[in-house]
Structure 1
Amino acid sequence: MINPISLLSLNWQSYFDILIVAILIYSLYVWVRGTRAFQILVGLGALGLLYGISSWSGLFLTSWLLQYLLGIILLLAIVIFQPEIRQLLEKVSPLAIIRLKGGPVPRAILTEIAETSFFLADQRIGGLLVFPRATPISDAIQDGIQLDSLVTRELLVSIFQKSSPMHDGAVIIEKNRMTKAGCYLPLSTREGLPPKYGTRHRAALGICEHRDTLCVVISEERGVVSLTRSGEIETMTGEDQLRQNLESALLPRIRSKSSIKESVAQAIASRLNYRELMQKNLVAKFMALGLSFLLWFVLVGQQWSEISLTAVLEYQNMPANMDIVSNPVNEIQVRVRGPRGSISILTPDQVRVMIDLNNVVPGSQTIDLTEDNLRLPFGVETTFMEPRSWTMEFDRLITRRLIIDYDLIGELPEGLELTDVVVDPPSIEFPGRENELKQIKQVITTPPIDLSQITDSQIIRTNLKIIPSLPYRFPTPEVMVSLSLMERVIPEEDSEQPLSENDEGLSSSDAPTLVRLVNRIGGVADNLPKNP
């Protein structure tokens, strides 16, 4: 099946390829238009179009028969169009493109030919003069009498007299010599020529179509002189016009060694007529361009190739309260197949692999990768993916609030009593994964506060320490611990009576423990829900 490719996705090489084919198609059209070969080529094009339609629609038997039939017809076409193919190869030869124009025919002889041509036209005497240029014509002409004589008016008139046995043939002029007379030329097979053109005109067109020549045709019936070149006939209005055209086509230009490059460039530019390129046969040129695009899509689009690449894995629709615990798979090895035109411009960014995590739950879960998870350009399909499945760990994201404990060591100096310890803030919230937060047993201040170094009430800046120590990282801001001290007052009567072993009560060393217990009970009470 044909897979169309977006024009915007083609690279410059593809556009250049299409342009070259369009030029070849248009050149082929110009070469065969008006001939029987054009009808044969139209038939071949119709068979090719039928083959493309049958391949696209899945008619396997029809496409198979047409495929072999086209192969046989193309082989026969090479045999049938052997002269035309040889002519085409001669025209595209580099020697023909950069040739030095024609043989060096002297200017005096060209003037003599122009005057003689219009003299014959006035006398209603027909004639045909052929000037070979870049390619030889010996194999394209028949019969002819060898002359090898100077070009003179009297000789030309005597040759083309009706009583002359050579008047129906053509005269071949090379340089300043008439080499042959009474030559028969191949007639043009072009259709649609005006009825006014007789055998001489068709012979002149025929030799110009087969070889690179210039012909002067004198019409016997109408008394008109015409110049034929490059398959076109132009009527001359006078001797001066004919002489100027002959001189521009046959006189050599004086060139120095240093100007060879300029002469080659001028020869190529003379063949590339930009005005004709932009204004002539626009319909045929656009049709050739459209046919070139169609051939590119049909032929290149049906040639499939494969490529391996690494695609980035995208995780989508992750719930806000879930997180990935295990190391995720980030890359997928993919092998894709498609039309050569699509594969040649394919980049890893155009191959997207997406996993939907909308329905994940806490715990282990197996992720399966299928073709539905891939997003590929149109006309491209996948043949291999690795890995196809893997296991991932997920956990719920929560926030846990814990009371901050303070750590006191040592004893207060004698005569001081700890009345209050306040931690600001008294508790802290830890955001994170649920299983990780459950492992936290206690949060205390660090480093421990040494009471033996405390002499008055003060506020101490401390950090926090999580117990037990975990490999996970949690936010641990600084906290302020406020210590309130007062001087201890001992009554005199109490100081004179020592305590016995049976006396009940707390000593001064037990005060910090009592304060800490009261604060923890108060902190727990603050976090309990209150009834309205």
Structure 2
Amino acid sequence: MLLFLSTIRWQDVIDILLNSYILFRLWVLFRGTNVIRVLAGIGLLWLFQRIAVALGLIVTSWAMQGIIAGAALIIVIVFRNEIRNVLQAKNLRTLLWEFPQKGKRTPTDAIIEAVYDLARNRIGALIVLLGKENLDETIQGGVRWDGLVSKEMLVSIFYNGNPVHDGAAIIKDNRITRVAGILPLSMRDDLPQYYGTRHRAAAGLAEKTDALVIVVSEERGQVVTVKGNSFDAIHDNLSLEKILDNHLGMTCRDNKDPRPARREFLTAAVACVLCMIAVWFSIAKGMETLTSLEVPLEYMNRDPHMQIVSTSINTVRLHLSGSSALISSLRTDQVKAKLDLSKAVNGQNTFILSAGNIVLPPGLRLNRIEPPDVDVSLDKPVLKEVPVQIDWVGALPEGLILESATVVPSQISVLGAEGIMEHTRTLYTEKVPLDKLQSSGNLTARVSFDQSKLSLASGAKSDVVINFAIGRRPK
């Protein structure tokens, strides 16, 4: 895990924070609506899909992936109203970083007084208090009103002589936004027979939305509230007040302490970051690509009084993993293998190769090094005068003999490890063909030696002059 964390790039941190903020803004803009609940469900499906992948459940993983893709399309279709409301923000600031301000408080006292005034006078009424969801496409018809909520306003709306009394009044915050609205009727068959059209309309709207509907019966003067699939008969003002306060989120209406709201936002922000970290880790590991690369091994920090005599390897093969984008753009010069010889001693040394010897671009991980170790032999360099001999090949033309041959200089100074120089007694020139010699003369030849083990001393030259004399064989 620590090795994996060490490969995280600054771009990955920005990637996580950016997407965490986007997720947090979605929560802020859609909180309290069914969109958040559906997104949470999709998140759980995604979690199960990753578990299925980890367990090797191919069909289950494939099915989950298809369901998630379909669910994303369903969200856009089913919750188009909520999405449209968010995108119709007044300005970009509201969409990107502002926190939604709570609307003006709905005057519940005025609603309660109006409801019981209507009930005493046996005046039927249908009052809808909006929740988080938009009802523009659920409620049909009606007349735009936009009046302040008051007892007198509500009573006058449902007065039998008013042209708009036969329908629902829609309340949002402290204003009546629409009157004479037509609600969808419920098809439930478990409602009491004495429930009329108003009750079925209230049930139809409550089944489909998060709104609270208050129904005043014209025949019995009974007050009923409907939310979800629940019908609650109201017998006193306190019961109605409690239901209204719970729906409007005003259980503690006089509490103006902002700390609970801040804690809620902070908790949501932390949850978004943790969720995005989990998603990033899953995707980063899921998109992992393997590759192998052969790079030269660089020997560094050698004691200047020591010389490398031999090494078991000069290249290493690295097995790497990382995202496909990083692997495809990887260049050989971005990867280096280095071995520190500062602690090496005279003679044979064995070093174990590890991640500390490898330099990789950020985002890549080292899985394995082949071979895992390297043998390095060191020795002290020694300067020595070594005689040079001619390496003749072939034969002289018929009738000729080599009478004499000398090398100038006869010795050259070479530098090498002490152990090697003890066994180096002669150096040879490059091969000199005899069949091309016809008469006495001289030629220049290069001294041949293993340059990985020996080197010329300062000022020494690798070329020598060969003087030779050729005569005729006596008959």
TM-score category (smaller protein): 0.3 to 0.5
Give TM-score, length-normalised by structure 2: 0.46
Give TM-score, length-normalised by structure 1: 0.42
Of structures 1 and 2, the larger Rg is shown by 1
